[in-house]
Structure 1
């Protein structure tokens, strides 16, 4: 097959985006040495160029440019507290772009429907004191969360679903996934970020990294919801810390007070031997309980550090069906809305499928299966 000549600068750029060099890419797609040399000179067949574009996750047409394009990435404040945090990866930005596309669609949909702005978004933005207990009380009132919600949840996963449903009922989009879009081969590292929030007045959203343990996901969810009440957009790792970004410290206090009220905690806590029991009671991680104990001078730093060092991710058991996971990773509220819009003919089926990262027939299956299931 005849080869086409491409810019070496563009090919090197594409190979780098694919996590390779042009030389290593050539070795992967060409068996003969002379074919590898040809690729190194910038001569690729159409199938080879298509493979490179797919590996780099760029439009095929970009390879025909004379120089690498300057791609604008969405801007979001980086509030992570981990020391020497690594730069946010392409996986993060592709995930961010994906949820922003969904949010943009919903904003247009709600605007056309005459929807009003949500009053709780940024409610504490101009509060000089920003008292964590005041924010917790307001969040509980707006979301309708009670202690019975925790008591009736047999585990952290159920508790997360309950809190998520209440947030979405008030208009907050909740996304939870462990990989980029629908590509299970591209896991999102929880070491890079735990979640992020975008405090839009009409369609606020929170994203929770599904790679984390369920007990950690509950804390991340409430932490990101605190961002919405503060009106502060940002990406975070929600690492408990007395240092670092003051916004993150405040959101951590809100999450801790929301999930583990101090009076109830002190009533249950009798010593370090109660760590497991108290964590299970509140449906949170042992690390959250250890931090609560440390902040109240019930344990020393060495105890907390030991709990932190031994904290491991617990993988969820079982493999739920796609019709269950699709609404979770795309926000149940967004999924219900766009599926209904597609079924009514208001939105093209292929556009709905593209936004949900599924095939058109899956959109129909979601409509038949009721997207509020799971």
Structure 2
């Protein structure tokens, strides 16, 4: 049967009636523009609401051929959403698409008459979270309708004089969590960034929607200095060549001498696209970066651009204990990549907490707890019981051991994230022991069986409530770290390779009193338990089935193998959406999509939270929920 396609006139009218934008309310992207040869490029699609042929989505056999090809049956979409609505006709029904179309055409009609239209968002959950602050804002707006600016100060001892500009003032001492409240308002769309380095603007909720305020957050150092610092920072933010003032703050650090300059600024200069000498001059305040170079600098140093407008660099970021004790581990403060990974993980945790609350899904407290005085064997057994892992389960996992241990851990409301592109020398794992949704980070560069041990090691950190960064050296020489690290190593080994199970294995029983082990024997046992050969050998040592001398002789070769694996260049790999799914975990990814289905998030929010292009979102959605295609 032939398709009932739209005529060229219908296609043209559909596009123009939607304002040449995608009609999906979460998208609204332009679909036309100039090409390189003074022509026009078009990425829009005149999609059928009810399918043009029987094999299509939402086909209605009661419609006539003429009705299927009329403008009433069409909707203008970008290519991504044109495909999406046909891939999932159960979600994108005729009623949904007709609603999209009506809203899109209404918006286009208003915009054509000079109105600016912003999409409203339900604020019921927001009002539940911060009712007192929003009530106070509403009352202030009602009394002073022309005032659009407010400032947040720590307490009433701090003064601020903006000149002739009227403003509202809110105090931390009145609203204990006002800083967090501002972040929540940003997430809900109650606050949006006006761009160009200017102030933030707020759409106040409820019966005063569409009214705008400017937000300035004052973080005081000393009460007498706060107003002056804030006023100066506001002036700096308005400077078109502010990068020089930013760099002069010393945020990048200082060092003298040509060799020191190259050593200090070499990689940064390359990443920003300037010479090391120019970057050094900018640091000293004798030169300026262009604004694009400044944005590259912010990206290279993994800092929000606003941080660089401070008069002084912020205090160093060292929020959790550093347990790293690999021989080559750096002893300076966290490097930017690791710091960024920890910050990003914490932001994802905050998002997960918020989405779970909005969706009405309870979060279980992390209940399992032990002390460093407990028997590691008993704690390992308790972990297996807590996670519900049996010997029969583990025997069937083999090459999928890490994935299955991770799923068992995530099922207890623990977030597990993989960290890409971070050297193993910087970290193998991170544990952040919060009571709700504690975090585990695993370096994706670690070998597969190594990841499994790291995962259980970091889980052991959660059990003893010891947040920290681990290098997982079995022979940690520093007493301060050895107590925690060696305990967590022992617990992880006991959980992964239970003593009774290992000692009952035929290979172990057949050895008798022989304390040496060949590669094939270790490899066979490692495969059986889904761990590395070193973990097996370490367990044999702890159970008296090998000697310390033999273990030490084999450990050197293990370390050489690990170094070779880290140096090996990766070729190929899975599709990008599967890599992202592996990094974020199926549970977190599904939660983000549930937020989208519940209309807590837009499609662009989903893409941002998953760090993907909007066009790739359907691929990761299918993978996360195990759908074919």
Hey, what does 1:97 align to over in structure 2?
343
**Inter-partner Cα distance in structure 1 for 2:412 and 2:572:** 30
1:180-219 alignment runs, 5 A limit = 187-219=421-453
Does the 8 Å CA contact 2:586/2:624 hold for their aligned counterparts? no
SS at match of 1:43: coil
1:351 shift after superposition: 3.0
* CA deviation vs aligned residue, 1:67-98 (integer Å, no higher than 9, x gap): 44315636112223435742331111100001
Distance 1:343 1:240, change over 3 A: same
**Inter-partner Cα distance in structure 2 for 1:29 and 1:318:** 29
Does the 8 Å CA contact 1:122/1:232 hold for their aligned counterparts? no
Distance 1:200 1:217, change over 3 A: same
**Inter-partner Cα distance in structure 1 for 2:499 and 2:249:** 58
Using the size of structure 1 for normalisation, the TM-score is: 0.81
Does the 8 Å CA contact 1:117/1:201 hold for their aligned counterparts? no
**Inter-partner Cα distance in structure 2 for 1:37 and 1:370:** 46
Q: 2:322 aligns with which of 38, 62, 78?
A: 78
Does the 8 Å CA contact 1:149/1:159 hold for their aligned counterparts? no
Comparing 243-252 and 89-98, the one that deviates more:
243-252
1:216-295 alignment runs, 5 A limit = 216-241=450-475, 244=479, 245-266=482-503, 267=505, 268-269=507-508, 270=511, 271-273=516-518, 274-295=521-542
Hey, what does 1:357 align to over in structure 2?
611
Does the 8 Å CA contact 1:76/1:233 hold for their aligned counterparts? yes
**Inter-partner Cα distance in structure 2 for 1:264 and 1:133:** 12
Hey, what does 1:184 align to over in structure 2?
none
Hey, what does 1:366 align to over in structure 2?
620
* CA deviation vs aligned residue, 1:179-226 (integer Å, no higher than 9, x gap): 2xxxxxxx2111222111122222122111111111111111111122
Q: Which of the pair has the greater relative contact order for Cα pairs under 8 Å at 6+ separation?
A: 1
Comparing 300-309 and 363-372, the one that deviates more:
363-372
1:303 shift after superposition: 2.3
SS at match of 1:98: helix
Does the 8 Å CA contact 1:198/1:234 hold for their aligned counterparts? yes
SS at match of 2:313: coil
1:150 shift after superposition: 2.5
1:1-374 alignment runs, 5 A limit = 6-7=244-245, 9-10=247-248, 13-14=251-252, 21=265, 25=269, 29=273, 41-61=286-306, 67-70=311-314, 73=317, 75-82=319-326, 85-86=329-330, 87=332, 88-113=334-359, 115-116=361-362, 118-119=364-365, 121-125=366-370, 129-155=373-399, 158-177=400-419, 179=420, 187-241=421-475, 244=479, 245-266=482-503, 267=505, 268-269=507-508, 270=511, 271-273=516-518, 274-311=521-558, 312-313=561-562, 314=565, 319-371=573-625
Does the 8 Å CA contact 2:295/2:305 hold for their aligned counterparts? yes
* CA deviation vs aligned residue, 1:76-132 (integer Å, no higher than 9, x gap): 12223435742331111100001100111112223345555535x25324x574222
Hey, what does 1:183 align to over in structure 2?
none
Distance 1:317 1:300, change over 3 A: farther
Distance 1:55 1:301, change over 3 A: same
Flag the structure with larger Rg: 2
Does the 8 Å CA contact 1:215/1:283 hold for their aligned counterparts? yes
Comparing 288-297 and 319-328, the one that deviates more:
288-297
* CA deviation vs aligned residue, 1:320-350 (integer Å, no higher than 9, x gap): 1122221221122111101221233212333
Comparing 68-77 and 163-172, the one that deviates more:
68-77
Distance 1:192 1:348, change over 3 A: same
What CA RMSD, in Å, does the superposition of the two structures yield over aligned residues? 3.6
**Inter-partner Cα distance in structure 1 for 2:406 and 2:289:** 49
Does the 8 Å CA contact 1:206/1:225 hold for their aligned counterparts? yes
SS at match of 1:6: helix
* CA deviation vs aligned residue, 1:25-64 (integer Å, no higher than 9, x gap): 3998569x9x999868313433443443343333445555
What 5-or-longer segments of structure 1 have no aligned partner? 180-186
